[in-house]
Structure 1
Amino acid sequence: MAALLLVAVVCVAVPARAQPPLVTIDSVTFTGSGCNWGNTNYVLSNDYKVLTVMFGGMIATTDSGLAGKRKNCQISLGLKYPDGFSFTLGKVTGRGFADIGNSSTGTYQTSYYISGQTGTSYATRTIQGKFTGNYEFTDILPRIIWSNCNNAPNLNINSEVRVDGKKAVMTLDSSDQKFKLLFSIDWLAC
């Protein structure tokens, strides 16, 4: 199963005057149990503002042993923007599919940190069984981590699905086999 990840790094939740004039993705790296260079592909848009990632392994299931109960993908984005700004990840929206049996759970989580800064911010949602169907969660992340002013560090985002109990499957793809993970970055002029 393939899943689609769209990262739009120029969505801004602050007034336009606080937005940098140009923000682009300078580099992309990824690794994890749910994504690797053999089962994952990515494409940068022509303007270097949108990253699309096709996952092949973001499926957590209780049927595949301990290692199969948790799948994750850590993506590191090198952002390029002019001096005079600081950023934090403001909002994340994730969609997927879950088939969770009685007395079982499925968990979707996104966390992020900024290279060179201390701290990690999390958004976690848990589905209790019995549940079968698509899910969609939008979370406003705690703004506890801001990049240093006049520094363009990497934004590191970890997405994961995990399951517990006797019978559970959780994926990062919906019934149409597309998964969107949308990130909104907040900017601060400094």
Structure 2
Amino acid sequence: MARQVVLAAVVLMIAAAVQANAQTPTEVTIGYVTYAGNGCNYDNTNWVLSNDYKTVSFMFGGMVGTTDGSLADKRKFCQMSFSMSYPDGWSVSIGQATGRGFGDIPKDSEVIYETHYYFSGQTGTAMVERKIKGPMVGSFEYTDDFRTLVWSECNNAPKLNIKTVVRPGVMAVDSQDSKFQLIFHFGWRQCPQN
């Protein structure tokens, strides 16, 4: 009987921890986004912040890497920088990235897309990488965890910087909207009270 009580208490603590991690601020906005790189620009790249503030999705129209052509054709990249605004008392991180698109990868070839992020004025960079081996022709969707988490400082909504690189040999096109899509999954946590 005592053993069952202990297990129930542990289950309740785990459930409470999951609920605490699922909380988000009451309002989050992205003020502006800037783009740099040969895989994105203001004409072919769009973004959407989810209504629950848990994800931001980027759709790239120019993120198509090929095995032939110049070095710029083999390696596409996009540096995105955006300002986030959210209430004091919160810290944000990116825990996962979901890549979605279409690949045409020949036999004995490999495509890599990787993403790094950091907060302006803070130390630490997080990275995630996905390798797709050929032969493969078709749509793909992968969700990967960042190897480490970098959290924004408490009570400070800094500029978030994300760099994505695709190299070589993938035609990264989403079958639905003709764009490579990356979805970044935010983690939110409340800061300790002073």
Tell me the TM-score normalized by structure 1: 0.77
Amino acid at match of 1:169: V
Per-residue deviation, residues 12-67 of structure 1 (Å, max 9, x unmatched) = x8627852221111121111110124x4254667x8x6867553311100111222
Q: TM-score, normalised by structure 2?
A: 0.76
Identify the residue that residue 187 of structure 2 maps to in structure 1. Answer: 186
Structure 1, unpaired ranges of 5+: 1-12
Structure having the larger proportion of residues in strand: 1
Unaligned runs of 5+ in 2: 1-17
Q: Is the alpha carbon distance of 1:22 and 1:158 closer, same or farther for their aligned partners in structure 2, counting shifts above 3 Å?
A: same
Deviation at 1:107, TM superposition (A): 0.9
SS in 2 for 1:144: coil
After superposition, where does 1:92-103 map in structure 2 within 5 Å?
92-103=97-108
Match of 2:4 in 1: none
Q: Give me the identity figure in percent.
A: 46
- Separation in 1 of the partners of 2:38 and 2:19? 35
2:81 to 76, 83, 86: 76
- Which residue does 1:7 correspond to in 2? none
**What residue number does 2:26 align with?**
21
Which of 62, 65, 86 in structure 1 is aligned with 2:67?
62
Instruction: Provide the residue aligned with 1:5 in structure 2.
Output: none
Larger radius of gyration: 2
Aligned length: 170
Helix, strand or coil at the partner of 2:97: strand
1:103 & 1:92 partners in 2: Cα distance? 26
Q: Which has the higher helix share?
A: 2
| Alignment-derived partner of residue 7 in structure 2 | none
Match of 2:71, SS? Answer: helix
Q: Which amino acid aligns with 1:119?
A: G
* 2: CA distance, partners of 1:119 / 1:144: 9
Distance (whole Å) between structure 1 residues aligned to residue 135 and residue 26 of structure 2? 48
Aligned twin of 1:36: 41
Deviations 1:94-140 (A, max 9, x none): 11111111221111222211111222111111112222221111012
Answer whether contact 1:62 1:69 (CA < 8 A) is retained.
yes
